Amino acid sequence: MKMIARPLNAEAFAPYGDVLAPPAEPGRVYFEKGLKTGRAGAWPSLSTTHSRPLEKLPLEAKVLERHEFSSQSFFPLDVSRWLLIVAPSSSGGGPDASRAVAFVAGPGQGVTYHMGTWHHGLTVLDRPARFAVFMWRDGTSADEEFVTLAAPFTVEVPI
C-alpha cells in the first residue's frame, strides 16, 4: 500500500485526536478535554525530545504503536514540518494498516492522540526538531504497545 500525506487539519484528524494550535489573537486556548488516562495509578509525564529528520522519502512504515490507557500530546518547540501516521484499530484489536492515513504538520501545530490511537513513531522532516511530550504512565509494559505490521506500507510527502 502507498499513501500520500496531506496537510494536518482538525476535522480530518478528529477521529484520532486533537490538533493543538495557539489562538490567532492574543489569549489562551485550553486543550485539557483530550488529556485522559484509563489507569488510576498512572501519573502525568512531561518530557522533551530531540529528533533527527527522516533520512529519505518515501517513509516505509513497518511498526505502529499505541498507548492504550493514555492520551499522548506532542507540542512542537522547534520544528519545521513533521509527519503523523495514524490508523484505527482492527476488529482483532491491532492496527488496521489498510485504513491508515498520514498528515504533514507545520511548526505551529501540535497534537493529542486519543487513548488507544495507533500511530507511527515521531517522524520529523527537513531538519532536527524538539518537542515537549505529555502522557500518563504507570511504569509498566502497558504504557506502550508496539506492533510490527504484516504488510508494511509507504508514505509519500509532498514537497
Which parts of the chain register pLDDT below 50?
A: none
- Which of 23, 2, 20 shows the shortest CA–CA distance to 10? 20
Instruction: Look up the pTM and report it.
Output: 0.94
92-121 pLDDT, tens digit each: 999 999 999 999 999 999 999 999 999 999
DSSP type of residue 25 = S
Cell of 51: 529528533
For the chain, the first-to-last Cα distance in angstroms comes to: 20
What pLDDT score was predicted for residue 20? 97
* Contact (CB, 8 A) for 75 and 31: no
- Which of 99, 97, 85 shows the shortest CA–CA distance to 150? 97
* Contact (CB, 8 A) for 158 and 3: no
What pLDDT score was predicted for residue 159? 78
Nearest 5 degrees, angle CA 119-CA 125-CA 126? 175
What pLDDT score was predicted for residue 1? 87
Place domain 2-22+45-150 in its CATH homologous superfamily: Ureidoglycolate hydrolase (2.60.120.480)
For residue 152, cis peptide bond before it (omega within 30 degrees of 0):
no
Question: β-strands 72-78, 123-124: how paired?
Answer: unpaired
Domain ranges of the chain: 2-22+45-150
